[in-house]
Amino acid sequence: RHVLSLVIPPELEKAGPLNKTKVAEGGRKLRKNWSSSWVVLVGNSLMFFKDPKAQTPTSWKPGHSKPESSIDLRGAQLHWVNDMSSRKNVFWLRTVTGNEFLLQSDTETVIREWFSTLHGVIERLERE
């Protein structure tokens, strides 16, 4: 995390580990495949990196690594869900392009902070 703060410009809003699965692409339902991800929120973009815990020390170079995927939060929708997973602490996120994700943490405070931060960003983008 301290390394990220050196290489990501000041508009970094939040970064940390979350569990993630994509559940639809372009509106078409996908089979779930949960994985741990290092999630970085900068400006309008939510970026997913390979979880640094799953990396060897030398393979994790945030300054050089590209996100595995990145989503534009403009026009995105966000909801808490209880019926889309057997996991607890899950929210659903859909982009304007119809890509849908579930994000989850075993730690309730962690997932609540992410929900609140993303909700704030999405609302701010609606007002722009």
Nearer to ligand I3P, 85 or 117 (CB): 85
What is the spatial distance between Cα 87 and Cα 118, in angstroms, rounded to a whole number? 20
Would you tell me how many other CB atoms lie within 10 Å of the CB of residue 103? Answer: 22
In the complex with ligand I3P, which residue's Cβ is closer, 1 or 79?
Answer: 79
Q: Is 82 in the site for ligand I3P (CB under 6 A)?
A: no
HSE, side-chain direction, 13 A CA sphere, residue 4: 20
Q: How many residues lie near ligand I3P (CB under 6 A)?
A: 6
Q: Assess contact for 43 and 119: CB atoms under 8 A.
A: no
Cα(107)–Cα(98) distance, integer angstroms:
28
Question: The tokens of 40 are what?
Answer: 């970085």
CB of 126 to ligand I3P, least distance (A): 29
Q: Which is nearer to ligand I3P, 84 or 110 (CB)?
A: 84
- Sign of the four-CA dihedral 51, 10, 63, 47: positive
- Mask of contacts with ligand I3P, 37-76, x by CB under 6 A? ----------------------------------------
87 binds ligand I3P (CB under 6 A): yes
DSSP-assigned beta bridge partners for residue 54: none
Measured from the CB atom, is 86 or 109 closer to ligand I3P?
86
Task: Please report, as ranges, the residues that interact with ligand I3P according to CB under 6 A.
Answer: 31-32, 34, 85-87
